[in-house]
Amino acid sequence: MALKKSELYSSLWQSCNELRGGMDASQYKDYVLAMLFIKYVSDKYAGLPFAPIKIPEGASFKDMVALKGKPDIGDQINKHIIAPLKEANKLAEMADFNSTDKLGDGKEKIDRLTNLIAIFENPALDFSKNRAEGDDILGDAYEYLMRHFATESGKGK
């Protein structure tokens, strides 16, 4: 079954709610989009030879799920998920998942990141089954978030 955009948008907004308070919208959208990107490319390309995005061994969303609840979850995401993905695909900077300024410290950071990962574990967000030709899920998600952030800040589109 194809992914329903309403389910995606609901999950995106739920993840935004999880991050509110520690940073403003212009910052937490980076975390939401990074999480969405990792989930999307893992679902679509992990284990596929000659995929347009290489998912290094140990750097998939499934590996991120295994970090839930760990005391060093933010550092582990940066070192074992983000860094290998960036290096293997020559990607630009991504959000710092170990930032105490933005994500809190100790239990607060552990809970926030664990909950964020759990939102993207939703079985309805299985991007491997999305086969619509020309469907730009990541672009649609970005536009959805920008519209909502503009509306929230009173700036319109």
What's the pLDDT at 105? Answer: 92
> How far are the Cα atoms of 18, 69, 70, 119 from residue 43, in angstroms, in the given order?
23, 22, 23, 15
Taking the C-alpha atoms of residue 105 and residue 110, their distance in angstroms, rounded to an integer, is 8
pLDDT per residue of the chain (157 residues) written in tens, 0 to 9 = 566 777 777 777 777 777 776 666 667 778 888 888 999 899 999 989 899 999 999 999 999 999 999 999 999 999 999 999 999 999 988 999 999 988 989 999 999 999 999 988 988 888 887 655 556 777 787 787 777 766 655 555 4
Burial 19-47 (b: 16+ CB within 10 A, else e): beebbebeebbbbbbbbbbbbbbbbbbbe
> How far are the Cα atoms of 69, 99, 111, 152 from residue 105, in angstroms, in the given order?
13, 8, 10, 27
Structure tokens at 89: 């695909």
What's the pLDDT at 27? Answer: 74
Structure tokens at 143: 């536009």
Residue among 88, 79, 2, 7 at smallest CA distance from 45: 88
What's the pLDDT at 83? Answer: 97
Locate the domains of the chain by residue range.
5-152
Helices (H), 60-124: 61-65, 73-77, 83-89, 100-103, 107-120
CATH number of 5-152: 1.20.1260.30
Burial 124-143 (b: 16+ CB within 10 A, else e): ebebeebeeeeeebeeebbe
Please tell me what DSSP assigns to residue 20: B
